[in-house]
Structures are given as structure tokens and as C-alpha cells.
Amino acid sequence: MNIASVLQGLATFSWIIVVGIIVLAVVRASRGRPLKQAVSLVIGTVIFSVLLTTVSAGLVFIQADQRGVVISAVAPKGYRDQVLQPGLRWVIPFAENVKTYSIARQTYTMSVATAEGAIQGDDSIRARTRDGQEVNVDASVIYSIDPNKVIPMHIEWQDRYEDAVVRPLARGVIRDLASQYGIEEIVSSKRVEMVQKITDELTTKMDENNLVMVDFILRDIHFTEQYAAAVEQKQIAEQNALQAEYVVQQKKQEAEQVRQTAEGAADAVVIAAQGEAQSIEIRAKAQAAAWAALAAVLKDHPEMLTYEYIQKIAPNLQVIYLPSGTPLLLPSFTPTPTTTPTTPTTTVP
């Protein structure tokens, strides 16, 4: 509870009581029924009201986010050198009064939107870029009064610091730095750099005017209708070019896919042919080995060939009638040296 405000309220109420008592005494006196001890009651009430008013005039409560500048009629400079800190403070009643300033963070917005900015209507910053293009910048400046410089700020600006310092400084710095960049740089590549330079410049200039720069926010950048149309056409052209490039890449990928499929099929044919050739070679080698083994066996046992011959013709042979005394002829498979080939014949009686 603000005690100073309560005392001021009580002082005001006490003066109302004084006026009421005086009016009541006058009315009763006019009717021939004077109020007993009216004078004493009025005097006592007046004294109480004066004391209460004097005390309430000397007490000042400073909020936590405030600082107070004491304007003094008895101080040589017309003000106290020390700022009043938060809490309940005492000043000389009727000879001194206190001007309070908020040291909390404040935001000053300049926007094209009617209801967003500190000033109604289009309050954006109109600037011209290095390449001659016109842009409208929406921005917000977050700042506060330096708690250690409240008295100098009061002497120089008083309550005019927002309109006389923050607004013109912000608009001027934004225009100056925007003119150092091309419009493409402001929009994309150099936007962060420009914001940082604006912040640094505003920090320095506000410090010179007893204010603390907290942050600068570049809210939006608006272009002229002609430039916006040109940008839109450029973006459309870039999108079309990207689309065409995408189509080309897609066709290349499809062609590469077909080529790889054909190459894979050709490789499969080659691999299959190589496999078949290797299979034939293996079978041939196996057959040759079998023949070599068979030849080696027949060389030592030639009678096996006769046996195999008989086995081959036996399933289809049931009865053979031969004249009496006719010899049975069977082929002879006696191996002969390879150097002197002969035609083997065998007569079986």
C-alpha cells in the first residue's frame, strides 16, 4: 500500500470535514440554533487537516521501476544532486516536489499498420537504397532511461525524450545505413549486418542522450509496387528455370537408368555365356578323365568290353538259331599299340 497516497487521501477528506463543519455551523446559526463549541471544533479540524496535508506533502513513495528527481526551491541549483531511489522518501513539504521517471524497458514502434505504431497511420521509415530503390521499413526500438543519468536526462529532455530523441534518432540512423546497401543485400545477404550496424549506432547515440539501447528489431521491409512486380517476375522466371533444369535432370536420370539396365542385361548375358563355357569345359574335362580311366581299365581287362557288348544286345535278343557247325562270331576288342593300328577280329567257336 502506498502510504503517501493514503495520507493525501486522508488530508483531502479532513478538509472536506472542515468545510462540512463550517457549513453545518452556519446553517444552525441561521436557524437560531447555534452549534455549541463550533469555533473550537472548526479550529481543531483545521489544525489536524493542515498537519495531515503537510505530512502527506512531504512523503513520496517511489516504485521499484522508478527514480525520482527532486525539484527544490531551497537548493542552489533548483534540484537535488541525488536521485530518489525506490521506497518511501521525505522531501521538504511545499518547498520541494518530485518528478518520477520510469526506468523500465519501453518499446517505440514505427509501422505501416495503423494500430501498431506509436503514431496512428503509416509511420514506417521511408528510405532509399544504394541502387536507388525506395523501401519502407517497419522497426521497433526497445530502450530505457539510464538509472544513473535520470537527472541529466530530466534537465535536457524531461518528458520529451521519446519524441525528441528516440524517434528522430531511429529514423535517421535507419535511413543513413539503408543507403549504404543495395536492395538485394537488404532483403537477403546483408540484412543481419545492417541490423547490427543500426543497433550499434543507436546504442552510441542514445548513450549520449542518457538512454540505454536494449534492442533494435527490423520488423518488415516493404517495396514499391513496381519493384515488387519485378521481383515476382524474377522469381517466376527462376522457378521456371529450376523446373526446366529439374526436367533435364530427370531425363538424364531416366537415360542413365536405361543405360544401366541395358548394361546390366549385357553383363548378365556375358556372365551366362561364361558360365556355360566353363560348364562345357568342366564336362569335357570330366568326360576325358572318364575316358582315360576307362581306357586304362580296358587295357588291363579287355574281356570287359565283350561283356558290355553282350549286355547291350542281350535285352533285345531272345533266341538265335544257327546251323549245326556254324561258328558264333563276336568282335574282338583286344587293345593294340597306338603306333601300329590294326583291325581287330575274333572268331568264337
pLDDT in tens, 116-152: 877 888 888 999 999 888 888 999 999 999 999 999 9
The answer to whether residue 319 scores a pLDDT higher than 70 is: no
The answer to whether 135 and 207 have CB atoms below 8 angstroms apart is: no
- Say what the pTM is: 0.60
- Residue-level pLDDT at 21: 79
Higher pLDDT, 184 or 196: 196
pLDDT-derived band at 187, boundaries 50, 70, 90: confident
The most confident of the ranges 43-57, 150-164, 211-225, 305-319 is: 150-164
Residue spans per domain, the chain: 3-101, 106-223
243 Cβ contact list (under 8 Å, min separation 6): none
- Per-residue pLDDT at 165: 94
Does domain 106-223 fall under CATH 3.30.360.10? My reply is no
| Averaged confidence pLDDT in the chain | 82
Q: How confident is the model at residue 297 (pLDDT cuts 50, 70, 90)?
A: confident
Residue 318 main-chain phi, psi, to 5 deg: -105, -55
pLDDT beyond 90 at 301: no
pLDDT band, very low/low/confident/very high, at 339 (cuts 50, 70, 90): very low
The residue ranking higher by pLDDT, 55 or 213, is: 213
